[in-house]
Amino acid sequence: MTLLRDENLAAAFDHASRSYDVLAAANPGYHAHLRRSVRRLGLPGRGEGLRVLDLGCGTGASTAAIRSVLPAAGITAVDASAGMLGRAAAKPWADGVRFVHTPAEQLPEAGVTGPFDAVFAAYLLRNVSDPDAVLGAVRAVLRPGGRLGVHEYALSGRRADRAVWTLVCRGIVQPAATVLGDGPLYRHLWRSVVGFDTAGRFAERIREAGFDRVRALPLPGWQTGITHTFVGSRGAGRR
């Protein structure tokens, strides 16, 4: 199976938007893990006076996590899928969030220019055609010293973690998604993870993009070794 990219992936997410929240809710710890990753940004207090960009917000689970942890922050939420973005904007907590329909690679063209105090990207970077270009775009909209948080499926490199991921996808996620009519997207999900960087390689990719103090932090439960929070800061110097 060929990976879905760009317009084809956005169209698949448009179709899946109606059932995406149902499948996400079936993942133990899904929302709690997102909140944990937001807390790992290390932003102060309730986020008063801070601007946060939620890049690849989907149906808004990541946006809700930001709002829960940093209720006073100004949030801009971006996604390439109009269907997913529409679901997010309709959530009861969405008042005051600025929603922008644009691919992550085209932030300036969509008027998303920053500077932001933090950028949070959940389940995005492995789905873009050029993750290095997206990391460059993120760095460009962050203020010097601004924080990056990436919540992503990135395997540890151990065979056991790949085996667990494959078992969960093929035994649970893909059959359920097929019943809902979204089998191709969730087959892409499995392949996009096994074909993506290991956690260590992805942390190095973030460093190469000009970020300092980069760390890869595991998440608990069945996703240990499968899902990580990556945090870093925009360095003051140029690449």
Dist CA 34 CA 124 (whole Å) = 13
- Residue 176 is predicted with a pLDDT of 81
Average pLDDT along the chain:
91
Dist CA 38 CA 47 (whole Å) = 11
Contacts of 129 (CB under 8 A, 6+ apart): 5, 6
172 closest CA partner among 151, 190, 192, 154: 190
Residue 65 has pLDDT above 60, yes or no: yes
Dist CA 119 CA 111 (whole Å) = 16
Domains with residue ranges and CATH for the chain: 28-157+197-234 (3.40.50.150)
- Residue 42 is predicted with a pLDDT of 97
- 116 sits in the region (left: phi over 0; alpha: psi -120 to 50; else beta) called beta
Residue 1 has pLDDT above 50, yes or no: no
10-53 per-position pLDDT tens digit = 787 777 787 788 778 778 889 999 999 999 999 999 999 999 99
Dist CA 71 CA 63 (whole Å) = 11
From residue 97, alpha-carbon distances to 77, 78, 126 in Å are: 7, 10, 25
163-172 per-position pLDDT tens digit = 998 888 888 7
- Residue 51 is predicted with a pLDDT of 98
Residue type, 224: T
